[in-house]
Amino acid sequence: MHSQSSEKASPIQTAESFDVVTLGETMLRFTPPSRNRLEQADHLQVHIGGSESNTAVGLARLGLKTTWLSRLPSTALGRMVSGELARYGVDVSHVVWTDNARLGLYFLEEAGPPRGSQVIYDRSDSAISRMTPDELPRSLFEANKLRLFHTTGITLALSESTRETALLAAKLAKAAGALISFDINYRSKLWSPAAAAQHCQSMLQLADLIFIPDRDIQTLFQLPAVDEPERALETLAGRWPHATWVMTRGRTGSSAIAHGTFYVEGIFASDEVGRLGGGDAFSAGFLARYLESHGDVASSLRWGAATSALKYSIPGDLPLMTRAEVEALVKNNSPSTNISR
Amino acid sequence: MHSQSSEKASPIQTAESFDVVTLGETMLRFTPPSRNRLEQADHLQVHIGGSESNTAVGLARLGLKTTWLSRLPSTALGRMVSGELARYGVDVSHVVWTDNARLGLYFLEEAGPPRGSQVIYDRSDSAISRMTPDELPRSLFEANKLRLFHTTGITLALSESTRETALLAAKLAKAAGALISFDINYRSKLWSPAAAAQHCQSMLQLADLIFIPDRDIQTLFQLPAVDEPERALETLAGRWPHATWVMTRGRTGSSAIAHGTFYVEGIFASDEVGRLGGGDAFSAGFLARYLESHGDVASSLRWGAATSALKYSIPGDLPLMTRAEVEALVKNNSPSTNISR
Amino acid sequence: MHSQSSEKASPIQTAESFDVVTLGETMLRFTPPSRNRLEQADHLQVHIGGSESNTAVGLARLGLKTTWLSRLPSTALGRMVSGELARYGVDVSHVVWTDNARLGLYFLEEAGPPRGSQVIYDRSDSAISRMTPDELPRSLFEANKLRLFHTTGITLALSESTRETALLAAKLAKAAGALISFDINYRSKLWSPAAAAQHCQSMLQLADLIFIPDRDIQTLFQLPAVDEPERALETLAGRWPHATWVMTRGRTGSSAIAHGTFYVEGIFASDEVGRLGGGDAFSAGFLARYLESHGDVASSLRWGAATSALKYSIPGDLPLMTRAEVEALVKNNSPSTNISR
Amino acid sequence: MHSQSSEKASPIQTAESFDVVTLGETMLRFTPPSRNRLEQADHLQVHIGGSESNTAVGLARLGLKTTWLSRLPSTALGRMVSGELARYGVDVSHVVWTDNARLGLYFLEEAGPPRGSQVIYDRSDSAISRMTPDELPRSLFEANKLRLFHTTGITLALSESTRETALLAAKLAKAAGALISFDINYRSKLWSPAAAAQHCQSMLQLADLIFIPDRDIQTLFQLPAVDEPERALETLAGRWPHATWVMTRGRTGSSAIAHGTFYVEGIFASDEVGRLGGGDAFSAGFLARYLESHGDVASSLRWGAATSALKYSIPGDLPLMTRAEVEALVKNNSPSTNISR
Amino acid sequence: MHSQSSEKASPIQTAESFDVVTLGETMLRFTPPSRNRLEQADHLQVHIGGSESNTAVGLARLGLKTTWLSRLPSTALGRMVSGELARYGVDVSHVVWTDNARLGLYFLEEAGPPRGSQVIYDRSDSAISRMTPDELPRSLFEANKLRLFHTTGITLALSESTRETALLAAKLAKAAGALISFDINYRSKLWSPAAAAQHCQSMLQLADLIFIPDRDIQTLFQLPAVDEPERALETLAGRWPHATWVMTRGRTGSSAIAHGTFYVEGIFASDEVGRLGGGDAFSAGFLARYLESHGDVASSLRWGAATSALKYSIPGDLPLMTRAEVEALVKNNSPSTNISR
Amino acid sequence: MHSQSSEKASPIQTAESFDVVTLGETMLRFTPPSRNRLEQADHLQVHIGGSESNTAVGLARLGLKTTWLSRLPSTALGRMVSGELARYGVDVSHVVWTDNARLGLYFLEEAGPPRGSQVIYDRSDSAISRMTPDELPRSLFEANKLRLFHTTGITLALSESTRETALLAAKLAKAAGALISFDINYRSKLWSPAAAAQHCQSMLQLADLIFIPDRDIQTLFQLPAVDEPERALETLAGRWPHATWVMTRGRTGSSAIAHGTFYVEGIFASDEVGRLGGGDAFSAGFLARYLESHGDVASSLRWGAATSALKYSIPGDLPLMTRAEVEALVKNNSPSTNISR
């Protein structure tokens, strides 16, 4: 249903299908304007951010039918999250609404060097941390109802029940014939490297596509990814040979290994105004192209690079580029400025 | 499809159904802050407004599955309109997108007496004014796909092709077994009373529910509605006996006549911050209750009154109350304040 | 000249003429938004305010060709004042620019009861306080170059040289055949009642039209104007029989006496958002009508009342109504709202 | 210490003394501008609010040396609270800072009827909820170091350890010869009436001054305060005869009973822009006058009424009136407007 | 007259003269703040922009008496344009006001790479597009009333009647002994290269000074200006030998040819915040110096470069530098910072 | 006392002690947002700035107990200054309040090249310019009550009585065993080089630590500091051998000489958003470390460099970095970003 007070209406309902189903937490983000410190601010700008929903927005902007599964409080705050996602084309009709829970929040101070950007998370005990496997909308996970399921390591880290929910979703999706995409996305504030390495095992076994930032390869698998990306990927592919591994390397670019073949891509230069969400935008670009090209890893990396570069030029966490902008950048490697006509 | 660049993806698609299908124009609205004059403003607040989409938002907020049909330019401006509607729960997946057209706009100066609020419309030659009957999504108008179709006299006034489109939609809906709701909503800037009276004829013949402001009864039908509302309604019901007529009477309240029975309702007091959109909110409240109660006119009038009163207390044109607020107001006739717990 | 760096260009120049020439101080005004206290504000809204320039703006908005004489610092602050006046149609090409001077400022906290609005003036030693008679543009004061000269008691209070300048301007204007208009506008922060009474004498002798708030009649002339307005005016007219006296009486209305005839006018109800500048707006409305009607006091009072009522509904000190709004209010006594067409 | 990283410096330190010591929770408050709904806002205004610190600010503005005890996270958010209090004159040098805790928050939608203002609290598990008795700065509670200690029922409701801390503070203060002031301030979202009634017992035994809203008298003590305020107060004074009871009665006024004498006070009319914090402002006005007058209940009620009326006219929760404004209101019953000089 | 409701007053009127008379369209510009996308914005900043009025503002800021001819709707929107120009010193007393027309608008998204800035124009059927030759104020085009007339190819492109109006203005100005300045300024959204080349012929024959961006030389005349600027200019000068040709070359600088002499100038480095309007600022700087120096092309190029560099550092389309800033930059090639005194 | 209306309360008072006592003027600063020109702004951001109070804020943020002595008007403007300082941890309880005085102001236009930032000062005749030696709080200058006294040449330049007050403060502090810190900080708008050189003599004799920008060495002492910093410092140290001289050299770094030893430090790269106040931040970092290390000049220079670099990345004049940020920068030479955990 399209709102949390849904029992009343809609007598006639038919099952929907989606290109991509995502599952994860989305938080409200509060940011002081114009690089002020939080202590200087008399008002804060409101955005939303969450790894899976960032990717979902990117996929929707690129033309894929995408839904986001989560659990939200039945308050104006919960509606701010679902409304913002719907505004940018993500289906939120399968969100679970609850009366007694809080929404995760974070406060972001954007800064240039030598002052570093600062985040204060306030996400403990959020509504999704109590999500349970039985709250999954089973009808979404039937055959031909979805092409790909995407989640991240953050969701696995939130709580045991959230982790079980995500794992069940992946299994159901797999059984329905869909691809499984998993972004490891290690968060040291949520769990230890050891816990992450252990609890990601089942998902890594299920995943067809695995995204990993190079820093996490070192942290979780003790592989020197920064200096020897090819070797690190080969080792990972040796352990999980069924999966395509995609490694994002910050301002260095990205690499991938699939069925023994190694791929490399650079980055597109960007005048950054919003660094958060770049990795999620990369996943969106990669996945959109991957689904459309039926598995062309090289061009998917390039789409990932273009999408994340465009995202960096946009305030907030969401990759609000258009498909035309990605296509122009991939094709021309130049901005599609449109001023002087 | 959920965005204007839709040809690419989504292999699997099933037909949707809706409680209410609406059709009409939505414009961007620009308003100077804090009762400043336009000439004083260095920035303008952006809202959206359009009679049918205002009503659609109200219906969605009240829990009904609602879609809005229209034609928008494939630009950021068009996406601002569709995004804002989606944000508040209205389905926009059947909007027609076009490359070469402009979006209607209006500028609103909000003022208190003796200065009157001023609107400057800039809506000529908008994308929807070139909408044609063949652009209607036929699948929506099949049996069991919709319960009610709603449009207004504004849509009929925009252009001949828009009018034909709206009429075809009403006929298709009627044929599919749905109710037809029509708000006359006369706009002197769009057409003359004579033209309106003439071109509304077909729609009045089709309509099951007709909303009309009392001032329009005088203007279009030369009936003295202000002083003798009951008699005016009886005359109208005499001419179009198949329809339920609902007359909104500003701060006096509302009346209706249905199958020979006359109904009267008052208003709920409101601390007004946004007068625009009150009539559309009334329609939303009325229709939501009418569909749920299977035709209880008395309680539908009361829901209309409550919904419009709540809308007056909210900035912008959209009725962004919650269902709980309407229910509490209808039941207790008092605000559901929730501060001091 | 139209800017302060004027020596360079413009080889060909012809003398201009004006309906009204005004002379006085204009300050920058700083106001915290939304009724916040100054101590709560992290930004302040910038307006300009000055009795004579407020009136000049009103006259220009009503269609009269109006110039404002003053002395400003050659800085961005000075240009903010002249630019804002030019924006609303007042000629500022005869302003005297100076390199070493400050601009007068004031800080306004707007408040509702029981908290009263507060003003902190910071106007000492402003550029105009050192204006001298020889800085007057003599070409403006030739025959047929102006119809009316207007200034206020504030200008007389600023400094001795400013007072001499204003008096010379009035004498030159009188000699050129123009009417002299003088608003007593007593300011207790600038001088004592005794000083005001003494130093206004020459101007009162020159003036054809004298505006006075009822409270000043008591303060300066010890006449009980509040209770017995007619008698107070008669006494004043007895002392200065050549002048038409116009008394503004706040929310009670206004009265006037001219050639032995007594006039009374009420007020138009207003939803006030900006109380400052109402008296200056009154003068603008009165003078515009007075010049157009060639001395019809009764209708001039009515125009004054309408213009000030409209001003109260507009933020800031300037009477930014339109001529059409004044005409509609004078005629219909109702706001010219223009929303629902 | 004056900041949370205090161990480093300040070799020389002497003990301070205060007129009033307060203890309680202060939260960040987020409010959408201009009566918008939260769902409409793209930025939120930041204020702080907390019953005891609201009162502390009022006391400091009225000239009393006041400190606020609490426990805050060592983050920018915690510093936003302490900084804002320091800005308005409250001593925050005894706040306990902690590394691993969150700050309580709330979201306020301000609205006029029929829409009611809404608050969403998010205060669970805040830093102060884990405050323990041993974190009290004992040096503050020595003889001659304080004249009055003030806290509220909210602090007692936060957690058992917070309650024990508040009780110990009251006992220490009493032992040091100070007066104990307690505002019952029942919060139904924090505990049940039964729990409140039980856990307030010890504090009621200690308190010299007890503030109670009339609605709480009914809720906690089953006394019909609204209709029979005098009788309710007599009953309460019968049970706790050592205390002066002050009952606030919203827009009806206030009453008190002390040593068998009954006092009544009305309200000062107010153009309300911020209703929250009015009761805390009342306490501030009452306590300031009570201390200065050495126990004059009648004039203390009047100061309470004036202080709360002024607070209603100020945005935010804090009573940012000046002492001069309170004195003028108490004396003249009229706003001390200061515009036209 | 100085406002659109001008028939009433001003009995005495004498003819004015100007250094420069310009003719063209000015639009309202709407920009989201802080590099947000339009879709993210809840308010838009309002500026004005139009090639000829941008240049007019630059000329006025540099001390030249300048008027702007155009046709505007008699609404607050039209007054926003004229008011803003008057604020910065441009005479708008000869603007033609009309009741039934719209104002051209455009929406600008400012962005850094790889996202390009985007403009959405909405200028069709604007008031000026129906301007006719008989609406020209003939008194301005008499001998000794103007020194230079300036317009651009945009004005020629708007409509046939606008083109005829501009051509007549140029002919009248020529006949009155004034210089004719023409900026080709090709706009692909308004007409084709072929149409532009054809319809600019008459103006090119009349023009004494012709400005052309290097990209237009290629587009309109098929000359490879980027690589061989000297040769392209020679070719153009061969065809239109009576004119001085000035070619702006973006970040490369500018060149000119006059009476067979070739001139080259570079650029001044700029920290760009507003790229739009740089070419118009260049024209302003060039023309101001050209008129003052009686035809010194070399120093005029340098003034053009300085003026446009300063404009790039200022938000909005208008060249709001001061004459002192231009002079200092031309002289010292360094910013005239004035902070630490 | 902690507010200007202080006579009433606080019967018990004990003497406080401070690490640092500062004395100087603080002004309100008005800045247009987003690099707009003042002439473009409809609101101005409010900050405070003053050399000594900037340093005081830095010291307080670094953990030192710091008080600021000055003289302020008893208005909301004066309270804006004291409140802002208190908010960031500076003690303001010894400020002298006065009823009849104005507050110094300045207007800052922030700009990038080729447009230079511009400051318009409006500080004449401010409250502190009439401060007299007898207004110093003597109790602060007793033995063991302070460790260091800091002022600047600006304070000496304000007026003769201010200069005498500062000198007396320095003498009292010296007598009490405290260090004297003096930042020469020449301001050409306040006095001539000759006057500065003469009137700084007494303070240079008293000072233990002297800060001087390299440009002032040339201006005041005719020493070529830019090219030969070591030699200039040696010469200065030769004249005033008792003092440690610290020379700030803008983007080149800093140098110092103490007891015949020469020290050099570079800068930390910074993404500048607020250049004003960098020198004052340097002093804060230097002094904090100097006091903690008991005179380690080398590490104090490094702390100065780190503190000023962090300040440059923060809007406004105040060095609102945290101690942790300074420590991390000094230690790691890299920002302490904290985003992706």
Domain extent, residue E291, equals 16-23+50-71+88-95+125-332
Helix (H, G, I), strand (E, B) or coil at B310: helix
Average pLDDT over every residue of C5-28: 70
Burial of F24 (0-12, 13-18, 19+ CB in 10 A): buried
Query: In this model, does residue D226 exceed pLDDT 90?
Result: no
Q: How far is CA C214 from CA B120, C209, C231, C304, in A?
A: 41, 16, 12, 16
Closest Cα in chain A, distance from residue B131 (Å): 23
Q: Write the DSSP string, B88-151.
A: TT-B-TT-EEESS-B--EEEEE---TTSPPEEEEE-TTBGGGG--GGGS-GGGGSTTSEEEEEE
Query: In this model, does residue B338 exceed pLDDT 80?
Result: no
Closest Cα in chain C, distance from residue F39 (Å): 5
Mutation for testing the D interface, residue in C40, C115, C186 having most D CBs under 10 Å: C115
Question: Which positions in chain E have a beta carbon within 8 angstroms of at least one beta carbon in chain A?
Answer: 34-37, 39-40, 108, 111-119, 121, 187-189, 275-276
CB contact under 8 A, F16 and D15: no
ipTM above 0.90, yes or no: yes
Cβ A127 vs Cβ A75: under 8 Å? no
Query: In this model, does residue F12 exceed pLDDT 90?
Result: no
A183, A280, A296, A317: which is the annotated catalytic residue?
Answer: A280
Non-local (6+) Cβ contacts of C69 within 8 A are C21, C22, C23, C94, C95, C96, C136, C137, C140, C169
Q: Which residues of F are catalytic?
A: 280
Distance CA A79, CA B86 (A): 12
Whether A280 is a known active-site residue: answer: yes
Cis peptide leading into F73, omega within 30 of 0? Answer: no
Distance CA B192, CA B212 (A): 16
Structure tokens at D119: 């608050």
Residues in chain A with CB shorter than 8 Å from the CB of D118 are 76
CB contact under 8 A, B116 and C321: no
Query: In this model, does residue A341 exceed pLDDT 90?
Result: no
> pLDDT tens for residues D253-266?
999 999 999 999 99
Q: Which chains touch E (3 or more CB pairs under 8 A)?
A: A, B, C, D, F
CB contact under 8 A, B270 and D111: no
- pLDDT > 70: what percent of chain E? 93
pLDDT of residue C9: 34
Closest Cα in chain D, distance from residue B336 (Å): 5
Mean pLDDT of chain E: 92
Distance CA E173, CA D15 (A): 85
Banded model confidence at residue B334, pLDDT cuts 50, 70, 90: low
Q: Which of E42, E103, E120 minimises the CB distance to B45?
A: E42
Helix (H, G, I), strand (E, B) or coil at D102: strand
Q: How far is CA F200 from CA F16, F20, F163, F183, in A?
A: 30, 21, 9, 10
Mean pLDDT of chain D: 92
User: Which of E249, E245, E88 is CA-nearest to residue E181?
Assistant: E245
Closest Cα in chain B, distance from residue C37 (Å): 17
Q: Which residues pair with A43 in a beta bridge?
A: D45
Query: In this model, does residue E314 exceed pLDDT 60?
Result: yes
More confident residue, A129 or B252: A129
> pLDDT tens for residues B66-105?
999 999 999 999 999 999 999 999 999 999 999 989 999 9
Could you tell me how many residues make up chain C? Answer: 341
CATH code, domain with E263: 3.40.1190.20
Average pLDDT over every residue of B185-196: 96
- The residue with tokens 């399968």 is A94
CB atoms within 10 A of CB D292: 18
B268 within a domain of the structure (yes/no)? yes
CB contact under 8 A, B341 and D188: yes
Q: Which residues pair with F261 in a beta bridge?
A: F258
Cβ B321 vs Cβ D114: under 8 Å? no
C31 within a domain of the structure (yes/no)? no
Non-local (6+) Cβ contacts of B119 within 8 A are B106, B107, B108, B109, C338, C339, C341
pLDDT of residue B296: 98
Burial E134-153 (b: 16+ CB within 10 A, else e): ebbbeebbeeebbbbbbbbb
Could you tell me how many residues make up chain D? Answer: 341
Burial A46-72 (b: 16+ CB within 10 A, else e): bbbbbbbbbbbbbbbbbbbbbbbbbbb
State how many domains chain C has. 1
Distance CA A64, CA A323 (A): 11
C158 within a domain of the structure (yes/no)? yes
Distance CA C61, CA C75 (A): 27
User: Which of E329, E338, E322, E331 is CA-nearest to residue E63?
Assistant: E322
Q: Which chains touch A (3 or more CB pairs under 8 A)?
A: B, C, D, E, F
SS3 letters for chain E?
CCCCCCCCCCCCCCCCCEEEEEECCCEEEEECHHHCCHHHCCEEEEEEECHHHHHHHHHHHCCCCEEEECEEECCHHHHHHHHHHHHCCCECCCCEEECCCECCEEEEECCCCCCCCEEEEECCCEHHHHCCHHHCCHHHHCCCCEEEEEEEHHHHHHCHHHHHHHHHHHHHHHHCCCEEEEECCCCCCCCCHHHHHHHCHHHHHHCCEEEEEHHHHHHHHCCCCCCCHHHHHHHHHHHCCCCEEEEECHHHCEEEEECCEEEEECCCCCCCCCCCCHHHHHHHHHHHHHHHCCCCHHHHHHHHHHHHHHHHCCCCCCCCCCHHHHHHHHHHCCCCCECCC
Q: How far is CA B16 from CA B85, B145, D88, in A?
A: 18, 7, 58
C7 within a domain of the structure (yes/no)? no
CB contact under 8 A, C313 and B115: yes
Query: In this model, does residue A144 exceed pLDDT 90?
Result: yes
Q: How far is CA A162 from CA A121, A126, A188, B276, C273, in A?
A: 19, 11, 18, 44, 53
Query: In this model, does residue B10 exceed pLDDT 80?
Result: no
Burial of B281 (0-12, 13-18, 19+ CB in 10 A): buried
Distance CA F309, CA F65 (A): 23
CB contact under 8 A, E120 and B75: yes
Cβ F256 vs Cβ F247: under 8 Å? yes
Mean pLDDT of chain B: 92
Banded model confidence at residue A15, pLDDT cuts 50, 70, 90: low
CB atoms within 10 A of CB D12: 13
pLDDT of residue B225: 76
pLDDT of residue A11: 34
E19, E91, E208, E280: which is the annotated catalytic residue?
Answer: E280
User: Which of C28, C31, C124 is CA-nearest to residue C78?
Assistant: C28
Q: Among A325-339, E327-341, F233-247, whose mean pLDDT is lowest? A: E327-341
B83 within a domain of the structure (yes/no)? no
Residues in chain D with CB shorter than 8 Å from the CB of B329 are 114
Helix (H, G, I), strand (E, B) or coil at D18: strand
User: Which of B110, B45, B99 is CA-nearest to residue B73?
Assistant: B99
- pLDDT > 70: what percent of chain F? 93
> pLDDT tens for residues C236-264?
999 999 999 999 998 899 999 999 999 99
Average pLDDT over every residue of A187-216: 96
pLDDT of residue F285: 98
- Largest Cα–Cα separation, chain A: 59
pLDDT of residue C334: 60
pLDDT of residue F3: 38
C189 within a domain of the structure (yes/no)? yes
Which residue type is seen at D209? L
Provide the total of helices (H) and of strands (E) in chain C, helices listed first: 11, 14
Cis peptide leading into B137, omega within 30 of 0? Answer: no
pLDDT of residue C11: 34
F269 within a domain of the structure (yes/no)? yes
Q: Which residues of B are catalytic?
A: 280
Parallel, antiparallel, or unpaired for β B179-183 and B209-213? parallel
Helix (H, G, I), strand (E, B) or coil at B263: strand
Mean pLDDT of chain A: 92
E37 within a domain of the structure (yes/no)? no
Query: In this model, does residue D140 exceed pLDDT 80?
Result: yes
Angle at F143 between CA F140 and CA F146, to 5 degrees: 50
pLDDT of residue C226: 74
**Closest F-chain CA to A213:** F340
pLDDT of residue D11: 34
Query: In this structure, what is the dihedral angle of CA atoms A284, F339, F34, C126, given to the nearest 10 degrees?
Result: 160
